[in-house]
A = this chain, B = another copy of it.
Amino acid sequence: MHIVITGAAGFLGQRLVARLLARGELKGQPLHRLTLVDQVEPELPFSDAVEVEGLALDIAEPGALDEVLDARPQVIYHLAAVVSSAAEEDLDLGMEVNFDATRALLDGCRERGLATTRLVMASSVAAYGGDLPAVLDDMTALQPQNSYGTQKAMCELLINDYSRRGLVDGCVLRLPTIIVRPGRPNAAASSFASSLLREPLNGEEAVCPVAAELALFVMSPGKVIEALVHGAEVPGEALAPFRAFMLPGITVSVAEMLETLRRVGGEQALALVRHERDPRIEAIVAGWPARFDSRRARALGFGGDRDLDEIVQAFLRERA
């Protein structure tokens, strides 16, 4: 089993690498080669059993992945992307990296007859937008209100069509908001969702920029990685008629997050949260869907977190 991961140096990429090496197999076949692709050479984990190689390349360059595809990998995890704020700032960059590079990857598979290569791509809740119903499902239209979501939605369509035509074997997972991300707050509008729990549990201050009633659709990093592994293994026949769907996140309100924080970290943790509404952040996150009927993902064998407590406990275990 030869696996390629683009965006391998990222938060999800690194965790996926660790999980795959710990597993040692995928689709019932022993893992023997792992190709890690990113803009900068990814850190290479040590492995006895698996040949791990790192490649620093710009996937938006024509032919960038030629050599990688010539090796005929069985599974490709396509996680590389320009994030939403950058794609909004620079339309050309977003189109090149998020859309054109994915199309080139598909055509590269097609030219080499990699019809049975499973291509697992990460899509996003940002592909949803517009006048959404209270509860979404996988037949809810994608009407993205940002360029990142637009580019992801276009990739979904293309991967579905190439898979339908038997040119590749695609599976696109729409990711909920991931909490609790490790590390520091960043510029993402969703950053507060992790900060609200992470900083106070680390004895640091956090700012809550939204109303306590705001609900989010979330998934823990651990469950996202499990979903990526399952995304390689779920049979292609089961994915028709459409290869993209939402992962089974859970709906949590900010109030529940604060209550869980109090229960786990005590009043002193809760006291570290400063409430300071930020209309700019509120305007963005208010448009995000919070409630999904995840029947399809569950029927395909994808699992989610049981509740917020489980998410927080997993964060504490990992931090320890």
Alpha-carbon distance A158/B143, docked complex (angstroms):
11
Complex contact B144–A139 (CB within 8 A): no
Output the least CB separation between A287 and chain B (Å): 9
A147 closest partner in B (C-beta):
B161
Alpha-carbon distance A145/B165, docked complex (angstroms):
10
Interface residues in chain A, defined as those with a beta carbon under 8 Å from any beta carbon in chain B: 91, 129-133, 138-145, 147, 150, 153-154, 157-158, 160-161, 164-165, 241-242
Alpha-carbon distance A157/B130, docked complex (angstroms):
12
Residues of the B chain whose Cβ atoms lie less than 8 Å from the Cβ of A141: 138-142, 242
Alpha-carbon distance A67/B129, docked complex (angstroms):
36
A132 closest partner in B (C-beta):
B139
Residues of the B chain whose Cβ atoms lie less than 8 Å from the Cβ of A129: 241-242
Main secondary structure of the interface of A (DSSP, over half): loop
Complex contact B150–A139 (CB within 8 A): no
Complex contact B143–A150 (CB within 8 A): no
Residues of the B chain whose Cβ atoms lie less than 8 Å from the Cβ of A140: 139-141
Residues of the B chain whose Cβ atoms lie less than 8 Å from the Cβ of A91: 165
Known A-B contacts A129-B241, A241-B130; A150 and B145 likewise in contact (beta carbons under 8 Å): no
CB within 8 A of A161: which of B131, B144, B165?
B144
Output the least CB separation between A151 and chain B (Å): 8
Known A-B contacts A131-B241, A138-B141; A161 and B150 likewise in contact (beta carbons under 8 Å): yes
Alpha-carbon distance A143/B138, docked complex (angstroms):
10
Alpha-carbon distance A143/B131, docked complex (angstroms):
19
CB within 8 A of A241: which of B139, B145, B154, B157?
B145
